[in-house]
């Protein structure tokens, strides 16, 4: 490509075009105005949000739903600091984002100038990498590096901070080639292939195991390896449990699916993991919400761990066969290795599957149904039915998030979006907007709590402005429900600062924003309002589900405890009375 | 629950605590040092010493970090260091044959001739150098590994140390080990 003279701001737009960007999210301000001026003529969609945090979650939801790099733009100072929660959210879940922030002009940096903040310093521990552009000559390469770093290896957010005077400056410019890009990053070489010796060891363990379980995390989705996981399970007949982040990487309607494991995992998944003799961890990182008490996690199992990030290996749990590599690549090789020699039929393995089936029947996922009061789980089940299990679900954080994880059966990757690692309240709705913009062909439901939703409620205006027909289901219990549940279980039911029943009329509020508002207060109304909501396709629709206020998320393994101490199910009147610690 | 009757536990790896010398080759960009120190600070780990300097290769700096800590955490930090985009090579050389050197400048109070004589003798034994002299002080330059410098400080402490500055440890794997283990530096 030949060089041409361009303004810094136009260089930004040109590189975004070259990177194939079709949608960006953001909000302008002083230091980024030049870039916004250039964006005025950009050949892609530029979404104006009402808050930078929502912009970041939208870019994140867009990235999660499409697999492409999400792009968010903000101004210096408060604009950039408002991105912090969104960047940390994406960082914890390894979501590829590029954040472009304006910075005060170079000669003002360090002078406590208006809207100045050390954004590089602030975001250093919550980004995969970040850049401060100090010379316009570096700008095109840095932007390309940002996209490359964001989407390769273990993906993550990358921030580029550009001083305003550089966006205004005019310079010779051409887009750096792929070779120049790679040569410019000599220290960045993610291992993708997987060590063949280790892969062979893993195959041997798989052949010999009598009680194996596959434990699948978000890495499978990031690596687009759902097909390989499916193939592996069908080849070996090994049951699969997924983490919250791994949902959708294995069809939950499949008889081999054990559904989620961990703190709010199913009884049968946790029993299987507790008793297995081989645990095959794929693109998962042994999060504390999964393991509970480390010393009693899969206590008798040999562990195979496939992950692209060497730092994830033996971080919390020492594993027996670590394989560093891209999940998809490694699984392909592992499958090939296993196909070389047919797997022997083992009676013990049959017994294992039968044992799991018994656990499944003993404590299936369940809740007490009611025809007087709406049960939150019933709402999720009804959403599942009305969308034929095909919708993209984006959840906030709290009880509703766990119910959305448990009672909707996910069948394809990128179907369930939520802030798994950071646990960011307010994530679900803006992420749903981003997801719907990226996947207009899919029905997108934001399943939100009344506490979570209100944290980014301002961006209903954005969804209305761009006519994004997301459905928002508020599981409204007038509580910060998950905290209330913990207070009930572990703090003697002292409900400190969790009652939020003084709240806006969400239906009227939706209408004030120009969206449609609906409400259901009785079980008989649930299906009806959902049907109505499904018919609206030109604007957002919000449904306020007024649910049982003190319903609990069960099963539950209390934080830091062993699976032995799992609280399985409520039996009688009060959960607090009947919850029993087993073991 | 009967399935849970037996308490089974994973064998816990033994906790080893000790000093580690980590060498890091980095692209010498601004901010790279903050990234590295941030990894330690964010985990509540004190760096015992850290030295940075340019190398013979353009735009490449070498950092030597000495850290005292639990094996598992140090191992995790090393992995995190490797993940940084600007690091080219990270090695824990603690267990490899290596050379360690540190330079200290120590301003020592010289009360009288006897003190001056005694200090001079110690400086000579330790192959140090007096690099500045005043009415009532010697400034001594001394190099060696941590142990030697500590020993020297212990000996001159009774005279009264007015001021001290230390570079922190520099370290390098011995060429014999490089050849034997086939590790490139």
Going residue by residue through chain B, which has 185 residues, state the pLDDT in tens, using 9 for 90 and above. Answer: 445 666 788 887 778 899 999 999 999 998 999 999 999 888 888 899 999 999 999 999 999 999 998 888 899 999 999 999 999 999 999 999 999 999 999 999 999 999 999 999 999 999 999 999 999 999 999 999 999 999 999 999 999 999 999 999 999 999 988 776 655 54
Residues B90 and B40 in one domain: yes
The verdict on whether A164 is a catalytic residue reads yes
Report the distance separating Cα A282 and Cα A285, nearest Å.
Answer: 9
A202 Cβ neighbours under 8 A, 6+ residues apart: A280, A304, A306, A321, A323, A334, A337
Computed on alpha carbons and rounded to an integer, the radius of gyration of chain B in Å comes to 22
- Cβ count near A29 (within 10 Å): 20
pLDDT at A488: 95
We report the CATH number of the domain holding residue B124 as 3.30.70.1150
Residues B121 and B80 in one domain: no
Q: CB of A504 within 8 Å of any CB in chain B?
A: no
We report the CATH number of the domain holding residue B75 as 3.30.70.260
- Per-residue pLDDT tens, chain A, 583 aa: give them: 578 899 999 999 999 999 999 999 999 999 999 999 999 999 999 999 999 999 999 999 999 999 999 999 999 999 999 999 999 999 999 999 999 999 999 999 999 999 999 999 999 999 999 999 999 999 999 999 999 999 999 999 999 999 999 999 999 999 999 999 999 999 999 999 999 999 999 999 999 999 999 999 999 999 999 999 999 999 999 999 999 999 999 999 999 999 999 999 999 999 999 999 999 999 999 999 999 999 999 999 999 999 999 999 999 999 999 999 999 999 999 999 999 988 888 899 999 999 999 999 999 999 999 999 999 999 999 999 999 999 999 999 999 999 999 999 999 999 999 999 999 999 999 999 999 999 999 999 999 999 999 999 999 999 999 999 999 999 999 999 999 999 999 999 999 999 999 999 999 999 999 999 999 999 999 999 999 999 999 999 999 999 999 999 999 999 999 998 999 876 533 443 333 333 3
Residues B90 and B24 in one domain: yes
Query: Final residue of a domain: which of B63, B95, B127?
Result: B95
Q: CA–CA distance from A243 to each of A221, A294, A524 (Å)?
A: 11, 16, 33
Element (H, E) at B114: helix B113-125
Adjacent-strand bridge partners of B99: B172
A438 Cβ neighbours under 8 A, 6+ residues apart: A23, A61, A62, A63, A65, A66, A68
Query: Final residue of a domain: which of B95, B128, B160?
Result: B95
Q: Is residue B180 part of a domain?
A: no
Residues on chain A touching B79 (C-beta within 8 angstroms): 310-311, 313
Query: CB of B93 within 8 A of CB of B171?
Result: yes
Residues on chain B touching A313 (C-beta within 8 angstroms): 79
Residues on chain A touching B75 (C-beta within 8 angstroms): 314
Q: CB of A296 within 8 Å of any CB in chain B?
A: yes
pLDDT at B131: 98
Residue-by-residue DSSP string for A4-67: EEEEHHHHHHHHHHHTT--EEEE---GGGHHHHHHHTT-SSEEEE-SSHHHHHHHHHHHHHHHS
Query: Final residue of a domain: which of B78, B95, B112?
Result: B95
Chain B nearest C-alpha distance from A582 (Å) = 5
81-120 in chain A: CB under 8 A from chain B: 120
Q: Is residue B176 part of a domain?
A: no
pLDDT at A115: 98
pLDDT at B43: 81
Per-residue b or e along A223-261, where b marks 16 or more CB atoms closer than 10 Å to that residue's CB? bebbebbbbbbeebebbbbbbbbbbbbbbbeeebbbbbb
Query: CB of A447 within 8 A of CB of A393?
Result: yes
Query: CB of A392 within 8 A of CB of A445?
Result: yes
Report the distance separating Cα A351 and Cα B126, nearest Å.
Answer: 73
Whether residues B87 and A187 touch (CB distance < 8 A) is answered with: yes
Residues B44 and B72 in one domain: yes
Chain B nearest C-alpha distance from A325 (Å) = 14
Query: CB of B128 within 8 A of CB of B144?
Result: no
Query: CB of A162 within 8 A of CB of A168?
Result: no
Report the distance separating Cα A337 and Cα A332, nearest Å.
Answer: 9
Q: CB of B15 within 8 Å of any CB in chain A?
A: no
Query: CB of A339 within 8 A of CB of A319?
Result: no
Residue A318 dihedral angles phi and psi, to the nearest 5° = -70, 130
Which of A124, A187, A311 lies closest to B34 in CB terms? A124
Q: Long-range contact list for B46-51, CB < 8 A, 24+ apart?
A: B48/B19, B48/B168, B49/B102, B49/B166, B49/B167, B49/B168, B49/B169, B50/B168, B51/B167, B51/B168, B51/B169, B51/B170
Cis (ω within 30 of 0) for the bond into A555? yes
Q: Of A6, A25, A34, A164, which is the active-site residue? A: A164
Residues B47 and B61 in one domain: yes
Q: CB of A564 within 8 Å of any CB in chain B?
A: yes
Instruction: For chain A, list the domains and their CATH numbers.
Output: 4-183 (3.40.50.970), 196-362 (3.40.50.1220), 376-553 (3.40.50.970)
Q: CB of A298 within 8 Å of any CB in chain B?
A: yes
pLDDT at A310: 95
Q: Is residue B7 part of a domain?
A: no
Report the distance separating Cα A487 and Cα A482, nearest Å.
Answer: 9
Q: Is residue B154 part of a domain?
A: yes
70-89 in chain B: CB under 8 A from chain A: 75-76, 79-80, 82-88
Residue A314 dihedral angles phi and psi, to the nearest 5° = 55, 30
CA torsion angle A151 A265 A294 A312 (round to 10): -10
Three-class secondary structure of residue A395 per DSSP = strand
Q: Is residue B111 part of a domain?
A: yes
Which of A132, A271, A562 lies closest to B3 in CB terms? A271
Report the distance separating Cα A353 and Cα A255, nearest Å.
Answer: 10
Residues B86 and B128 in one domain: no
What average pLDDT does chain B have?
A: 91
Within A261-300, strands assigned E span 278-282
Q: HSE on the CB side for B66, CA within 13 Å?
A: 15
Q: Is residue B182 part of a domain?
A: no
Residues B87 and B103 in one domain: no
Q: Is residue B5 part of a domain?
A: no
Residues B119 and B167 in one domain: yes
Q: Is residue B62 part of a domain?
A: yes
How many CB pairs (< 8 A) connect A and B?
Answer: 72
Residues B83 and B40 in one domain: yes
- Domain range for B125: 99-171
In eight-state DSSP terms, residue A567 is B
pLDDT at A571: 53
Q: How many helices (H) and strands (E) does chain A have?
A: 25, 20
Residues B79 and B122 in one domain: no
Q: Any idea what the Cα angle at residue A555 is, between residues A554 and A560, rounded to 5°?
A: 115
Per-residue b or e along A166-184, where b marks 16 or more CB atoms closer than 10 Å to that residue's CB? bbbbebebebbeeeebeeb
Domains in chain B, number: 2
Query: CB of A282 within 8 A of CB of A324?
Result: no
Report the distance separating Cα A458 and Cα A517, nearest Å.
Answer: 15
Report the distance separating Cα A472 and Cα A452, nearest Å.
Answer: 12
Element (H, E) at B142: strand B137-144
Report the distance separating Cα A93 and Cα A87, nearest Å.
Answer: 10
CA dihedral for B24, B26, B30, B34, sign (positive or negative): negative
Residues B81 and B103 in one domain: no
324-383 in chain A: CB under 8 A from chain B: 359
What pairing do the DSSP bridges indicate for beta strands A416-417 and A392-395?
A: parallel
Residues B104 and B164 in one domain: yes
Query: What six digits make up the tokens of B56?
Result: 């013979």
In eight-state DSSP terms, residue A467 is T
Report the distance separating Cα A525 and Cα A545, nearest Å.
Answer: 9
Within A83-124, strands assigned E span 97-103
What pairing do the DSSP bridges indicate for beta strands A416-417 and A471-476?
A: unpaired
Report the distance separating Cα A549 and Cα A551, nearest Å.
Answer: 6
């Amino acid at each position: 490509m030949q060089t041409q003279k361009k303004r810094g701001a136009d260089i930004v737009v040109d590189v975004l075009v070259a990177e194939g960007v079709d949608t960006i999210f953001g909000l302008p301000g002083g230091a980024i105005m030049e870039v916004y001026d250039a964006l005025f003529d950009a050949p892609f969609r530029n979404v104006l949000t009402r808050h930078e945090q929502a912009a970041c979650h939208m870019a994140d939801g867009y990235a999660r739903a499409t697999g492409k790099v999400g792009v968010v733009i903000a101004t210096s100072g408060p604009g950039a600091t408002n991105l912090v929660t969104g960047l940390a959210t994406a960082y914890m879940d390894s979501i590829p984002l590029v954040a472009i922030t304006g910075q005060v002009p170079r000669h003002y940096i360090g002078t406590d100038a208006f809207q100045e903040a050390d954004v590089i310093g602030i975001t250093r521990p919550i980004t995969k990498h970040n850049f401060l552009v100090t010379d316009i000559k570096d700008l095109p390469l840095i932007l390309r590096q940002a996209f490359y770093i964001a989407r390769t290896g273990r993906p993550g957010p990358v921030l580029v901070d550009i001083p305003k005077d550089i966006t205004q400056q005019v310079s010779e410019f051409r887009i750096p080639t792929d070779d120049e890009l790679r040569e410019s990053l000599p220290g960045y070489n993610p291992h993708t292939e997987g060590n063949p010796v280790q892969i062979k060891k893993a195959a041997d363990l798989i052949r010999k195991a009598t009680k194996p379980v596959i434990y699948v995390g978000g890495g499978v989705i990031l690596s687009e390896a759902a097909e390989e996981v499916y193939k592996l399970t069908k080849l070996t007949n090994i049951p699969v449990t997924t983490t919250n982040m791994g949902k959708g990487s294995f069809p939950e309607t499949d008889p081999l699916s054990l559904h989620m494991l961990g703190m709010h995992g199913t009884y049968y998944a946790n029993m299987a993991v507790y008793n297995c003799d081989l645990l095959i961890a794929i693109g998962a990182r042994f999060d504390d919400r999964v393991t509970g008490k480390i010393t009693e996690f899969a206590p008798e199992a040999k562990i195979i761990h496939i992950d692209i990030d060497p730092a994830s290996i033996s971080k919390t749990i020492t594993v027996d066969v670590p394989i560093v590599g891209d999940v998809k690549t490694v699984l392909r090789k592992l499958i090939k290795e296993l196909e070389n020699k047919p797997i022997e039929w083992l009676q013990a393995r049959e017994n294992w599957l039968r044992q799991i089936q018994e656990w499944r029947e003993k404590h299936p996922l369940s809740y007490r149904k009611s025809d007087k009061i709406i049960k939150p789980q019933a709402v999720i089940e009804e959403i599942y039915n009305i969308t034929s299990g095909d919708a993209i679900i984006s959840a906030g954080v709290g009880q509703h998030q766990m119910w959305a994880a448990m009672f909707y059966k996910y069948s394809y990757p990128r179907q369930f979006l939520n802030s798994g690692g950071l646990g960011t309240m307010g994530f679900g709705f803006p992420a749903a907007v981003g997801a719907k913009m990226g996947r207009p062909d899919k029905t997108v439901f934001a399943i939100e709590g009344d506490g979570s939703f209100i944290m980014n409620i301002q961006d209903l205006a954005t969804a209305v402005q761009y006519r994004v027909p997301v459905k928002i289901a508020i599981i409204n219990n007038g509580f910060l429900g998950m905290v209330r549940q913990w207070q009930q279980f572990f703090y003697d039911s002292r409900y400190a600062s969790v009652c939020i029943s003084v709240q806006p009329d969400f239906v009227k509020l939706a209408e004030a924003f120009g969206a449609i508002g609906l409400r259901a207060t009785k079980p008989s109304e649930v299906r009806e309002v959902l049907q109505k909501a499904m018919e609206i396709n030109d604007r957002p629709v919000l449904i306020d589900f007024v649910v049982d206020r003190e319903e609990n998320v069960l099963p539950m393994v209390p934080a830091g405890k062993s699976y032995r101490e799992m609280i399985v199910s409520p039996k009688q009147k009060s959960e607090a009375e009947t919850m029993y610690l087993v073991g | 629950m009967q399935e849970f009757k037996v308490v089974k536990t994973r064998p816990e790896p033994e906790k080893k605590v000790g000093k580690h010398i980590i060498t890091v080759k980095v692209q010498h960009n601004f901010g790279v040092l903050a990234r590295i120190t941030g990894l330690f600070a964010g985990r509540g780990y004190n760096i015992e010493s850290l030295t940075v300097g340019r190398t013979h290769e353009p735009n490449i700096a070498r950092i030597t970090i000495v850290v005292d800590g639990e094996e598992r955490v140090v191992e995790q930090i090393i992995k995190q260091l490797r993940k940084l985009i600007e690091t080219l090579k990270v090695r824990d050389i603690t267990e490899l044959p290596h050379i360690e050197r540190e330079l200290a400048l120590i301003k020592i109070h010289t009360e009288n001739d006897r003190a001056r004589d005694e200090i001079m003798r110690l400086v000579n034994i330790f192959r140090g150098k007096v690099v500045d002299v005043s009415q009532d002080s010697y400034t001594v330059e001394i190099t060696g590994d941590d142990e030697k410098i500590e020993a020297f400080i212990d000996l001159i402490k009774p005279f009264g140390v007015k001021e001290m500055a230390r570079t922190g440890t520099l370290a390098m794997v011995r060429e014999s080990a490089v050849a034997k283990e086939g590790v490139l530096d």
